[in-house]
Amino acid sequence: MSLLLDRLWGGFLDTLLMVGISSLLALLLGLPLAVVLVVSDRNGLYENVSLNRVLGGLVNLFRSIPFLILMVALIPFTRMLVGTSYGVWAAVVPLTVAAMPFFARIAEVSLREVDHGLTEAAQAMGCKRGHIIRHVLLPEALPGIVSGFTITLVTMINASAMAGAIGAGGLGDLAYRYGYQRFDTQVMLTVIVALVALVTLLQLAGDRLARRLNHRA
């Protein structure tokens, strides 16, 4: 039992590491991408339809590729970046590539839901476009962005379990090697409970933070 707990704790920490680093990178890269998609659209603050279509096409392309296929396709790129295609750090690359366009689309929807009257009023007051983005668009869309990021985190936990099943480590690796391959139901059930608990806690925390930030509620 103690050995199982040690393995579970190690897999849990590996999963947190994978998801934590990947989610941070997805946030830092996906949110600016969402802003560019919104402001470069037709009648946007920085209208550039050609750029918008190219970026939108790339986002749709990577969102349409199943994670397992994407992870295998990125093996050469992953090996070039981190020096290996196996283990926790190798999983960070495909997780980030998969999560960034997913989160960007969700954040884009939240940004588009901001009342156009607010941006028009800011423009009428003489605010610069950069100030409108920082002080109107992003603050107003923040509750939706937080909710979208929470959904992204849950999706990444699911993907990290899939990555673990093919050698990336974490709870997925534990479930596959010690549960599935050895027909150990106890290990499988323990991993399932751990994943459900982690997802539930993240969802509750994200929902609570989004409600706090929603000044319109």
Q: pLDDT, tens digit, for every residue of 73-130?
A: 888 888 888 887 777 888 889 999 999 999 999 999 999 988 887 887 877 887 888 8
Comparing 82 with 144, which gets the higher pLDDT?
144
As given in the structure block, the two tokens for residue 105 are 């689309």
What integer pLDDT is reported at residue 43 of this predicted model? Answer: 81
pLDDT tens digits, 27-73: 999 999 999 999 998 887 888 889 999 999 999 998 888 888 888 88
Contact 63, 139 (CB under 8 A): no
Look up the pTM and report it: 0.87
Domain ranges of the chain: 1-213
What is the Cα 104 distance to its own chain's centre?
Answer: 9
* CATH superfamily of domain region 1-213: MetI-like (1.10.3720.10)
Reported as a pLDDT band with limits 50, 70 and 90, residue 1 is: low
